[in-house]
Structures are given as structure tokens and as C-alpha cells.
Structure 1
Amino acid sequence: MIIRHDLRLVFLHIPKCAGKELRTVFAAGAKPTDIESYFNFDYCQKLKRHVDLAHLPIDDLIHFPACHYLRNYTVVAAVRNPYHRLHSAIKEYCRQYSKEDERVANNSGPTMLSRLAYVREIPTRHGLRDPRFVHSMPMHWFSHYGQEPWVDHIVRCESLRNDVCELTETLELPSEIKDMALEKLAEHDPAQDTETITPAEAAFANILYAVDFDVFGYSRLKQEGTGHGPFSETMSVLSPSESHSHSIMLLERAQRVEWHWGPVSEIPSQSTMAPTR
């Protein structure tokens, strides 16, 4: 996350959405005293867990001083096609083991075994807010507090250079930012041309990122007959069919929970959440 106090602007870093490049762009022309950067890892005493400061979900970020600026400055964030973002998140995790693993992941991509191992961990690791799995967490976790959007402007990786250049005009940002965008940003997401989404991956992403598809306006790939694919067990955990409180493995994903003495708790519809405030 980048905070430009001179511009009263925050770039909110959603993982695997061109954050490295956009941090450089939105820092262009800033004096050291004008800019504040959230980066690297730390231990948060209030949350009592390790966190990735560059990628803080909003319900974590409210415990940090930067929360004040998200409420009072103009906030910008980038989003990405959920299918390509999932691919990138798995690759990111696999290359963090060692330099050799990084080389293999960069050259040939994660093996199917590695993909399966990662996907199986997602429900539990996301529930724990494990920073090692932060790159695959749903995008709206980083842009919304509950159902309330905390972002004013969205740019998309699929049209990143053009979106950012248009934003510099809309917000009347310094010319250095537009110049840096023209130099550093791609016209579109290169993954669109190089990655093939398998039916199993599409079916899994459709469940994991159901809210992201609706809120940020991405189209789903319709996949039939994938309920018994390699990710089917994890998909059932993410979308439990059971409603009895003590029959549900992952309670936070249960749409409806029927408690044994009578009460019922339900997740309200999130498909109508606005993408920006």
C-alpha cells in the first residue's frame, strides 16, 4: 500500500493485481516526506498473528494507523480476472520455497501436484488469514469492509495502462505519474494470451471468487460436470451443502447455519455490493 499525503491519495494493494508496478507508478514524483509505504512482514500485537503489510484485508487494516487515510483520502485499487489471478497466486506460493523452486515455477509453472496441494489448503489457510496464502484471498476482502466499499476508483489489469492514464486525468494527478504509467504498465494482462484455464480450475474459481465475479463485473466460464474433478473435495468445503451447525466443516463459508437449540444465522447476499463508494 502506498499513501501519498501530498495528493491525499491511497493506492490499496490487492494481491496479484500488478501491485509492484502500480506502487512504482503512484510513487512517481513524490518526496520522501510525502509518501508512506506499507510493505514487508510483521507481527501485529492487536491481531496476535503475523501479517503481510503490503496486502492487508480491510478487516485487518482497521487495526493500523493507515485506516484513517482510507476514510479521508481518495483510494485507488486494481482488480484482475479471477481465473488468471488464481493461477498467479498458486505460482507465487510455489516459488517462495527456495531459489530452485522459484526457477522451476517461473520456467515451467507449478506441477499439478503442487496445484492440488495448494488448493486443498485454501479453505483453512484463508480462514486463518495466513499471510502465506494472502495472494489467493478474494479481492473484495481488500476493498470492502463487510459490504461497504472503501475504494473510490478501480483500475483493471485487463486495460491497466489506459485505465491509469485516464485516472490521472480524472484526478488531475502530477504528470510524473502518467509518464511512469506509460513506461511501466502493460496495455493488457499478458496472462490472457499465455494461460489456459482448465474446467476444474474454472469451477473452483467460480466458487472461491463468487463474490468477486459479481462485484467487479467479471464473466464466469460455465463448466458442466466438474463436481467430481481434482478440486471437488475442496469445493464442497467452500460451498457446504449441510446447514446443521455441527455438520459443517468450515463455518465461515456456510450460507445458512441452523443451531441445535433453534436459532438460524445466514450470510446476507453479497452479489449486489457496489464496487466503489
Structure 2
Amino acid sequence: MIVDHDLKLVVLHIPKCAGTALRRAFLEDGADRRTESWFDFSYDPVLKRQVDLAHRPLMDLRHTKLWRWLRRYQVIACIRHPYDRLASACREHLRQKSRATEMQVSSQPPTNEQLLHYLRRLPAAMDAHDLRWVHGFPIHWFTHLGKRPMVDQLIRCEQFSSDLEALGETLSLPKSLRKRLQAVGEGAGRRETADLTALRNHPDLQAMANLLHREDFPCFRYKQQKATFSDPELKQLINACLAIGPSHDLPLTNLTPEMHWYYGRMSPRPELQLKPKRTKRAAP
């Protein structure tokens, strides 16, 4: 996350959505402006868990003093198709896991077994908000507080260059910053990586994205493919997670459509209908 107080802008860094390139452009151009940037990892004494300061879901950010800037300033975020994002998140998880896997995925995509191992653990990691899987959390965790959108300007990776150009015009950004964003849109500083097309088209990855990121597709108008789980272990896990029954019989708490508690109490999981961005800046 970056806050530029002179331009009255907040740039939210959604994982695996060109955030590093955007961060570099805004920070380099803002060297002479009043800017703040958050990166690295830290233990949050309020949440009682480790957090990734660069990628903070808004449910986490809400309790910090930074929240006031999301209310007062224009907020920008870059988004990406959930299938492409999840494929990139799998690679990023392996890149950060060990030196050996980092070297492997620098020149070739994750193997089928590595992908399945990642997907089998992702539901529990999301349930626990484990930052080691933060790159695979849904987009709307970083753009919405519950059903409330907190972003004013969205940039799509699929039309990166044109959206960055339009952003500069809409917000009347400085010419120097527009020039840097133009360079980013043209691919400046982009690292050569292995093609992830086969990974993003994997039926188990698409089925997992359809389930865990289901609100992202209609919210951000991304096309969703029909996909079913083919890996037996993964299919068994998901079926158990989606079961409706006694709370203590369920492996996870956040995927079941309805939890049945002791003494007959029930708590259903509502489906969120999300708008992609706020229509006007919220009042301070």
C-alpha cells in the first residue's frame, strides 16, 4: 500500500496484479512528495497473527490508522482474472518456499503435483488468514470491507496500458508520473517468466477459483468457466468442506453453506452481491 498525501491518492497493492511495478512507479515519481509506503512482514498485536504489510485485506486494514486515508483520498487498485491470479499465486508460493523451488519456477511452471498440493492447502490457509497464502486470497478481500467497495479507480491487467493512460487523464496526474506509468504499461521492468497458460486452464485450479473466489467473477465482470475437481483427494476435501451439518464435524468453518450449532442454532453463509467500486469518494 502507498499513500501519496500531495496527490491525495492511495494505491492498494493487490497480490499478483502488477502491484510491484505500480509501486515502483509511484514511489520513484513521488520521491519529492509526501509519500508513505508499507512493505515487509510484521506481527500484528491487534489481530494476534503475522501479516504481510504490502498486501493487507481491508478487514485487517480497517483497525489501523491508515483507514482514514481510504476514506479521504482517491483509491486505486489493479485487478486480474482470478484464474491467471491463482496460477501466479501458486508460483509465488513456491518461489517463496525455498531456494530450490524458487530456482525451479524461475524457468518452468509448477508441476501438476505442486499445483495440487498448493490447492489442497489453500482452503484451510484462507480459513486461518495465513499470510503465507496471501497471494491466493480473493481480490475483493483487498478492495471491499464486507459488501462496501473502497476503491475509486480500477486498472485491469488485461488492458493494462490503456487503463493506465486513462487513469492519468481522469486524475490529472503529473506528467512525470504519467510517463512512468506509460513505461510500466509497455512492460518496463517486467521479468521474463515461464508460461502459466496450462496451469491457469487446469480444471482443478479453475474449480478452486470458482469456489474460493466466487464473488470476484460477477463483481469485476470476469468470465467464469465450468470446472469440476478431478483430483480425488481434492474432491473429497471440498465435499467435506461444503457439507451442511454439526459445526464440530466440519473440517473448516467458512465454506459450508450453513453451520449447525449446539442447541439447534444455525448460521448460514450469505452470498455477497458486490459492486466493483464506489461511485463517489466517501466522506471523511
Common topology (TM > 0.5): yes
CA apart distance, 1:242: 1.7
Q: Which residue of 1 aligns with 2:277?
A: 276
Where 2:115 maps in the other structure, the secondary structure is helix
Q: Which residue of 2 aligns with 1:43?
A: 43
Contact 2:4 2:33 in 1 (8 A): no
Q: Is the alpha carbon distance of 1:86 and 1:234 closer, same or farther for their aligned partners in structure 2, counting shifts above 3 Å?
A: farther
Contact 1:58 1:142 in 2 (8 A): yes
The amino acid of 1:210's aligned partner reads R
Q: Which residue of 2 aligns with 1:131?
A: 131
Q: Is the alpha carbon distance of 1:9 and 1:120 closer, same or farther for their aligned partners in structure 2, counting shifts above 3 Å?
A: same
Q: Distance in 1 between matches of 2:99 and 2:3?
A: 32
Correspondence for 1:260 among 253, 259, 262: 262
Q: Which residue of 2 aligns with 1:92?
A: 92
Q: Distance in 1 between matches of 2:70 and 2:230?
A: 43
Q: Distance in 2 between matches of 1:15 and 1:145?
A: 17
CA apart distance, 1:12: 0.5
Instruction: Please report the TM-score for the alignment, with normalisation by the length of structure 2.
Output: 0.89
Unaligned regions of 5+ residues in structure 2, if any?
279-284
Contact 1:94 1:102 in 2 (8 A): yes
Contact 1:28 1:176 in 2 (8 A): no
Q: Is the alpha carbon distance of 1:117 and 1:6 closer, same or farther for their aligned partners in structure 2, counting shifts above 3 Å?
A: same
Matches within 5 A, 1:179-218: 179-186=179-186, 195-196=197-198, 197-218=201-222
Contact 1:237 1:249 in 2 (8 A): yes
Q: Is the alpha carbon distance of 1:98 and 1:263 closer, same or farther for their aligned partners in structure 2, counting shifts above 3 Å?
A: closer
Q: Distance in 2 between matches of 1:32 and 1:45?
A: 33
Q: Distance in 1 between matches of 2:225 and 2:27?
A: 36
4+ runs of 1 displaced by more than 6 Å?
Answer: none
Q: Is the alpha carbon distance of 1:33 and 1:237 closer, same or farther for their aligned partners in structure 2, counting shifts above 3 Å?
A: farther
CA apart distance, 1:194: 5.5
1:220 equivalent to 2:224? Answer yes
CA apart distance, 1:128: 1.6
Percent identity for Structure 1 against Structure 2: 38
Where 1:265 maps in the other structure, the secondary structure is strand
Instruction: Please report the TM-score for the alignment, with normalisation by the length of structure 1.
Output: 0.91
The amino acid of 1:164's aligned partner reads L
Q: Which moved more, 1:110-119 or 1:159-168?
A: 110-119
